[in-house]
Structure 1
């Protein structure tokens, strides 16, 4: 062998030895990402809160398994103390999770991934223990729970309707000072029972409503009771003051508390169950939005039946304040408006209900102001449009219906987000 051949053979042996150090356990050559760079890749994966990928393994996919739960376990402390999804997103980014990492979990960015994690954080240690491990296809996951409410909430929900029915009956059977006392006592009892039903039932809110929202809500209820009577009194040759409250509106709205709380409970439980079974935000939104529309249709049907029954009962006993289709439509539209606003507030969205309540209440106040302004000298031309719009066309029903439609559109958007169904979530 010549010197040149010996040098070539030595070079080949050295190259073979170099490649041999980069072979895997089976003796095969690793991928270009192996060798000396493998430890840094594993460390990077651990820093992102993920398992170090095995050599040659594919990235996890949101298929039969659910790797988001792995992130929940690894970042349990972060998720438990987070007060909103942004805090989880910041923590994930601090651990090196990027939008590219989030794409492996079928999310467009870190914020979408953090939103799902925030919505799926268990509330206590038992639920953390029950949280199934990745790859089991969802076996062992709790069937879906909703924030706990008082065990007696069904009884609380029935109280406003019962109290209002007794008050209306008492008003029909009494006169003079006794009738006034029955009316005041019934109003106070109705307010107290409605407050208990809302604070301890499925429609309770995570934080108290703003003063302006409470004021507009009270105004809307007062307008439902006395608005039509005040409009008729403002017309030439109108009724005497003070007007009789609408017994139909009072009884219908009070009785609507029961189906309202039941429908809210149904929606919350079903939405939480679908949240636990969903494989992503888009999957959850696609399943929960039809649920919301179905529950709203169920509530509207229940309110319609309640109002029809109340109208028939009041007409049977000859009580004042009954009156056909238009008052029923107005009371039903107001019930839908108030229910949607309370449902949004119960899931953390308070701005839209406050704005819509203010707009609807201001419209009613403007109608009353125009009606009474028409009695001023030289302003008689205002009488016709006010009478036509408010009394013939049922403007309260139209305005409340428009407000309810706006809130329904907002609810479809907001309640389709996973974070709106987290314990104490905001939207």
Structure 2
């Protein structure tokens, strides 16, 4: 290109020298212009980096020529062509010097690499948002990355930060705009989590069968051993499976969870013992509640794994937070419906099996509804805690547990002289619905609404789900 530019300049100089002899007294003017043009041509002929000086010399030459006579039309026309050519060369060289665009279909990729250090050390999306604003990223800039503001952009960046150098390398490679993690993957869990999930139900089933077949001291030993084994296997299934939490639960949350489980096992018996002519104390634990809740661990962990895998896959394919939320919220509702159906089938099978063993207490649809509502409540709370939201489950557990405690308090207070009316709400609400199905159902509905809102955010699925 430099050779053609110099040739055009020489043609311009020749045309001007030919026109200098024309009329109009312009022979004196082109001297400085031709001299400047020759210097520009010489500068242009040195290489690509020199056109800046050549163009500057050309502009001075053209200015000098403009003060002359308009006789050398051919020279001016050739000069204009010569001046345009290096400018095109400069533009082309500047365009060629730009780095290749990275992932035009996924503009967040380049931003992740540009702010890699910030994203790696961030523990919260707000920290990334503050760093972006400190680097001059505004809401208008975020709009170019298909986000409404800096905070929405930071939330997606936080959700898509790769966890190691290999994933950063995968993110750097050209592709379909997915995140550094392989599509369809979820936070890593223990490889034997399906076995761990089946253990609580199997241990509880063996314990119930042993209690039905033994008496006396052996029965007591079987019950205590089964309870300890059930607690240990449930702990392993929750800590090493898809429902594991990023941090230990608060002591208050653990206390209310234990109270809800204890109420499911003994609450109905205590209520019936408090009623006039009730059963003797201590009441026997509900075999249906124990077997149903223990067997519900397996479908609960499987549904949590399914949701994690599908949600991360949709996170990798989405092009914005609104797109991700619109795709993951129906997924959550579908997985919850699948879990509810699985728990219903488990409870129906448990009720039938207990009837065959002769170990069933008050069975039927009503107790199954109470246990199923409690299973849904516990599963939703654990799912939220696994994705970093612990406040809502703690509050709902406390509210439902307090409702059960109030029911027991009213039932036993009704035995005092003149307080018989206090037993009416207990008999109509608690005993009619079994283990507090109404309170558990209301709590499960609240947690489901909270889960739809929280788990629709991309940051809830970042770094193993710990938001």
Normalised TM-score (structure 1): 0.84
For structure 1, list consecutive stretches of 5 or more residues without a partner in the other structure: 6-14
Ranked by relative contact order (alpha carbons within 8 Å, sequence separation 6 or more), the top structure is 1
* Alignment check: 8 A CA contact 1:84 1:426 kept: no
1:30 shift after superposition: 36
**In the TM superposition, what whole-angstrom CA distance separates every residue of 1:266-314 from its partner, at most 9, and x where no partner exists?**
0001101110110000000000000000000000000000000000000
Question: Separation in 1 of the partners of 2:409 and 2:26?
Answer: 82
Alpha carbons 1:22, 1:34 under 8 Å: kept: no
Distance 2:244 2:389 in 1: 13
The Cα shift of 1:320 comes to 3.6
TM-score norm. by structure 2 comes to: 0.77
Deviation at 1:388, TM superposition (A): 1.4
State the 1:98 CA deviation.
1.1
Q: Distance in 2 between matches of 1:35 and 1:167?
A: 115
Name the SS of the counterpart of 1:193 in structure 2: helix
Structure 1 193/339 Cα, relative in aligned 2: closer, same or farther at 3 Å?
same
Residue deviations 1:155-198 (CA, integer Å, cap 9, x gap): 00000000000100110011111111111111011000000000
| 1:151 corresponds to | 191
Tell me by how many angstroms 1:33 deviates: 40
Deviation of 1:96 after TM superposition, in Å, equals 1.2
**248-257 or 388-397, which deviates more:** 388-397
Give the superposition deviation at 1:39: 28
- Partner Cα distance (2:97, 2:351) in 1: 69
Moved more, 342-351 or 37-46: 37-46
Aligned CA distance change for structure 1 residues 77 and 183 (closer, same or farther; 3 Å): same
Instruction: Pick from 13, 18, 40 the counterpart of residue 9 of structure 2.
Output: 18
Query: Which is richer in helix?
Result: 2
Q: Deviations over 1:45-90 (max 9, x none)?
A: 9999999998899999999610101111111111111111111111
Aligned ranges for residues 256-271 of structure 1 at < 5 Å? 256-271=296-311
Contact 2:102 2:110 in 1 (8 A): no
**For the Cα contact (< 8 Å) 2:370–2:433, is it kept in 1?**
no
Question: d(CA) in 2 for partners of 1:284 and 1:261?
Answer: 23
Aligned equivalents of 1:232, 1:33: Cα separation in 2: 123
When the two chains are superposed, the root-mean-square deviation of aligned CA atoms in Å is: 8.9
> Structure 1 109/384 Cα, relative in aligned 2: closer, same or farther at 3 Å?
same
Runs of at least 4 residues of structure 1 off by over 6 A? 1-5, 15-64
Secondary structure of 2:8's partner? helix
CA distance in 2 between counterparts of 1:123 and 1:30 reads 77
1:331-387 Cα offsets, whole Å, 9 max, x none, are 000000000000000000000000000000000000000000000111111122211
* CA distances 1:231-281 after superposition (whole Å, capped 9, x unpaired): 000000001111111000000000000000000000001101110110000
* Cα contact 1:65–1:137 (8 A) shared by 2: yes
Question: Structure 2 vs 1, CA of residues 88 and 173 (structure 1 numbering), >3 Å: closer, same or farther?
Answer: same
Change in CA separation of 1:29 and 1:183 when aligned onto 2, cut-off 3 Å: farther
* Cα distance, 1:394 vs structure 2: 4.2
Does the Cα contact within 8 Å between 1:275 and 1:418 map onto a contact in 2? yes
Contact 1:22 1:29 in 2 (8 A): no
Report the more deviating stretch, 235-244 or 390-399.
390-399
The structure-2 alpha-carbon separation of the partners of 1:62 and 1:56, relative to structure 1 and needing over 3 Å to count, comes to: closer
Aligned positions, number: 418
Larger Rg: 2
Whether the 8 Å contact between 2:400 and 2:440 is mirrored in structure 1 is: yes
| CA pair 133-173 structure 1, distance change in 2 beyond 3 A | same
